[in-house]
Structure 1
């Protein structure tokens, strides 16, 4: 996956716009865990080719056999692709992707119950997709009739998400596809990473359209986070009032404690994003790891337990990301009706249960002097005012070695009891992991001087 902070747009020289100086606020760095919600027209067919271990897809077929169900609107336009074949069979050759808007029934969606499940799983912020690359808006926008109030659900889904998230006491963010909008474009299907940036509108008219939509979202919802995707049209990267610099300045004026990501295609970056990517070291800048609970963000009904993160896997992923100075934005993909699939719910519930015991070693923490050890038992470190939190990624080993810097400290398990510290003749120190914790995905001990 590409790193978007490396894309910084046209060189304007002396005429370069002046960007905001806002950094990444402490609330975001303390939050550690957010939930993405990818929900849109793609949730009606809810399908993509299954990916995973043992599946080999040639590079030249990566877009025709795309792993993301939310890209259905693109893959269905690639004649002969598995998505195209399935669409013809299920909906007939006369049904376009956009016709699915009238088949979308979201009657089972209960925003308070839905957001409640995310918060119970540990979410400190919630980021629904307001408009994905398909161009279908999930709020009552005045810019286009292609929206969820005028068609399909006949509801302002983003308003419902917003209100429920505020009631639940979590931060509210919005995802917005800035430079891709297939509804107002007339390009061939994207079939490569090069096409991703070639087949998109960069004109002033589209830049004004995108800015008007983003301004609407800010005015109506005052989102704590703006999560832009696939850059911004080049026609809106200068000093114009509809340009990125001015748009972000208006946002920060309206939401002084807000934060943005790095996917704007300009030199200004908020937090860095890493998508379906494992990071090997601490990244000094605040960053965010994002991925789906499966191989897709949008719901893929073809996925099963082989394609879905287990609770223990997700817990270990969160600990690993936080130890390296990151946040985890994990995605849930509801079905068209607005229900969280049971496989995803089970994983979320296990994460929430672990965090209710161990959350103080995750929330509000910062990286220690290193994230883990190069050799020996798999371990991760975080730190807070309470001490250094040592996370055993394999509690079944029975012992947790402590680094020399912590060998003289006092250790306590996350659920309260003092830990039994073993000091060997060779000077090494370890903690005996109680039997009750040996089946836990991660056992966490806090060491104080």
Structure 2
């Protein structure tokens, strides 16, 4: 679970000033005098408790945690040796947020990663004469890029990016190193092999397995099989035999905390998790904490609901493998980055498969109104069911004896009279 992006950016509209621009000018003053840098002392994180965060993520069923180390804004959430703009040296927090999370997470058996979004810092800020972003005194925060939108990434900035990334690797030894888009553009072509070689060799030196993850957002940045392929707010329509990951947020409309935050439901997130795992993927789920370092109650509740579902049904998720086919059902899943908004909700006709040991799990993504599930993929003599000799069927979370029949139309399962969970129901078949 991606723990946080504390930071936000204000943009001006193309057809005149945006409401955010006008609000800023009214409340804080002219952007030439009061810019992003001036908000930093207000960001205090005074209620941040790394142990509380990790405990919550464990309750939610997470196995790995990837805090944001550097976002596009250029403010490091750790004790940095390469930039003055960091949470340890500069007000507000004056704390090593990343370090505290790593210490808490590792003490509780979590795999700990770090995400870097800093490559895009080169082009992140709007460079206008009436903004402080063009002031050379703050080029180490806003980047030294000029007003030309097509200006290529400078050698000076790439050197800064490398020093910063190397510092993060050396001092925190992350189990996972996750990169956002922009590292994939041609400007960084000379940095990518150096990064992969350095990080993977460091893993050997540390005596542990490490994993590099990258968006490959617009370009094929790394050779297939050398990194974990990551899709932002998107999934795949079928099985990918190499591991992959979806990164998305609890928030439908934001990654960081905003006043108009709109959450997905736990049901929607669990359905995504099941669909992703059935296709050999992992889910990296973002939460949006407040500036005081607390995670909002509504997001906590969603995480706990997900964790409750996993306590009952986790055997169909953890340490499983994809099966011969990912599933069946009428609902098409769109492919690619930022495609999640185009997907329809999954129904009781949509079923996903995972497998482990002598079990096959058929996960039904909604409760059937008539209490019956017909799995056509498992019909007698069907392509994928020819060698299956079912000895027992149960529904996870239910103690009721399950009645079932198998014929040429499918495997018909009578579901329990009482729903074992609130969403996504797991039929476990033993052989």
Q: Considering the TM-score relative to the shorter chain, is it more than 0.5?
A: yes
SS in 1 for 2:78: coil
Aligned partner of 1:87 among 24, 33, 48: 24
TM-aligned CA deviation for residue 186 of structure 1: 4.5
From the superposition, tell whether residues 99 and 270 of structure 1 become closer, same or farther in structure 2 (CA, over 3 Å): same
Aligned partner of 1:385 among 347, 357, 363: 357
TM-aligned CA deviation for residue 203 of structure 1: 2.0
Query: 2: distance between equivalents of 1:425 and 1:281?
Result: 27
Q: Give the conservation status (yes or no) of the 8 Å contact 2:176–2:212.
A: yes
Q: Does 1:105 align with 2:64?
A: no
Query: 2: distance between equivalents of 1:352 and 1:81?
Result: 40
Query: Which residue does 1:60 correspond to in 2?
Result: none
TM-aligned CA deviation for residue 208 of structure 1: 1.4
Aligned partner of 1:250 among 195, 198, 210: 198
Query: 2: distance between equivalents of 1:130 and 1:219?
Result: 13
Aligned partner of 2:3 among 37, 40, 61: 37
TM-aligned CA deviation for residue 176 of structure 1: 0.5
Q: Give the conservation status (yes or no) of the 8 Å contact 1:261–1:271.
A: yes
Question: Where does the alignment leave 5 or more consecutive residues of structure 1 unmatched?
Answer: 1-34, 43-69
Counting matched residue pairs gives: 371
RMSD across aligned C-alpha pairs, in angstroms?
2.5
Mapping of 1:319-398 within 5 angstroms?
319-375=274-330, 377-397=349-369, 398=371
From the superposition, tell whether residues 76 and 160 of structure 1 become closer, same or farther in structure 2 (CA, over 3 Å): farther
TM-aligned CA deviation for residue 448 of structure 1: 1.6
Query: 2: distance between equivalents of 1:415 and 1:380?
Result: 18
Per-residue CA deviations over 1:290-310 (Å, capped at 9, x if unaligned) read 11111211112212xxx2111
TM-aligned CA deviation for residue 407 of structure 1: 7.4
TM-aligned CA deviation for residue 267 of structure 1: 3.2
Query: Which residue does 1:401 correspond to in 2?
Result: 374
Q: Give the conservation status (yes or no) of the 8 Å contact 2:181–2:214.
A: no
Query: 1: distance between equivalents of 2:194 and 2:4?
Result: 28
Q: Give the conservation status (yes or no) of the 8 Å contact 2:78–2:96.
A: yes
Mapping of 1:213-292 within 5 angstroms?
213-232=164-183, 236-238=188-190, 243-256=191-204, 257-263=209-215, 266-268=221-223, 269-292=226-249
Q: Which has the higher contact order (CA 8 A, sep 6+)?
A: 1
Q: Give the conservation status (yes or no) of the 8 Å contact 1:223–1:255.
A: no
SS in 2 for 1:367: coil
From the superposition, tell whether residues 82 and 367 of structure 1 become closer, same or farther in structure 2 (CA, over 3 Å): farther
Question: Where does the alignment leave 5 or more consecutive residues of structure 2 unmatched?
Answer: 126-140, 331-347, 380-384
